[in-house]
A = this chain, B = another copy of it.
Amino acid sequence: MTGLSQIGVAVIGVGSMGRRHAENLLRAVPDARVVAVVDANAELAKKVVSDLGVDGCYSEVPAALERKDVDAVVIASPSRLHAPTIRAAAMAGKHILCEKPIATTLEEADAALAAVESAGVCLQVGHMRRYDPAYADAKRRIENGEIGRPVIFKSIGRDRELPPMSYFQAGGMLFLESSIHDFDLARWLVSDEITEVQAFAGALITPELEKYGDVDCGVVNLRFSGGAIGNVESYRHAGYGYDVRTEIVGSKGTLQVGYLEHTRETVLTAGGAAHDIVADYLTRFADAYVLEVQDFIETVRKGREPRVTGRDGRNALAVSLAAQRSYLERRPVAITPTNT
């Protein structure tokens, strides 16, 4: 795998996330070249190709995978398409950066990982928070022992507002698409697997989500294999902004990431003290997304192990599915993480 001078990339799915990946590859990764864009929405694909000056424009994945100059794919299509696209890309010998979740069932996830394994390609999963400078530094501090042994993991993820209803097609999207970031952080920052979860959740603000088996808020208790515990809160209707905060409580202290200090301005008027709150994930994690694709291309060039592996993606998915089941069945649900 080493020796590739410039990596040709096809971006599959160019909604806001996929388009951002394409832009970052173009602007910030000299060793990559975006050679193709794929989107089922042909108009959207054409617009992106035209805006960014990309050569190949496709509305279906196989045509893009046939290109010889495509060394790698970035998958940012809807979640239910992730696993089949990973399999197709792996069979075509392409390296893969795939958005989370890597699948919507464990069976699909395992099949996708097997295809990757057998093809010998690189699969990196889009848990971009690991690339965020603050989270990366938190990881370093924890490993340095600054807070002692992690005992309690807490995380909050709140979106400013619900995605459009067209976004909801299957149950469990709160846990599968949002909380999964926190589950990945939990595994990574505590350096341990989650083995049991218990969730209370509901469609409290948008009751029509119930017909999709979905919810707009949830609290998930976590138990780690080594005894540590935790809780993840997810909410779709924060209203005031995009609010992601994590706290790792250890035997010697606690470490907080992201307590809304997302701005360097404060305005004080008769109406009170006010500062802006970050609006969305593309703003909050702008740096992380750049670092993520840079690292992915470097990983492909060097033929090294990715920083976020298929197993990471699979085990975070397992926690999300268990949280959804706990909500539906009103009981704690155990998880069997895989080590391979």
Contacts and interface: CB of A to CB of B under 8 A. Distances in A.
Contacts of A331: 331-332
B267 A151 contact: no
Contacts of A273: 240, 260, 273-277
Interface stretch (A73-81, A95-103, A173-181, A222-230): A222-230
A270 interface: yes
Given A147-B267, A268-B253, A230 B219 contact: yes
Given A152-B235, A198-B200, A202-B227, A255 B261 contact: no
B251 A268 contact: no
Nearest to A215: B229
A212 to B, nearest CB: 18
A271 B156 CA distance: 21
A211 interface: no
A249 interface: yes
B227 A204 contact: yes
Given A152-B219, A249-B238, A277-B273, A254 B229 contact: no
B261 A263 contact: yes
A237 B238 CA distance: 31
Interface in A277-314: 277
Contacts of A198: 198, 200, 221, 332
A67 interface: no
Contacts of A276: 272-273
A106 interface: no
A154 interface: yes
Contacts of A223: 200
A297 to B, nearest CB: 15
Nearest to A198: B198
Nearest to A273: B275
A152 B217 contact: yes
A209 to B, nearest CB: 13
A269 B239 contact: yes
A198 B219 CA distance: 11
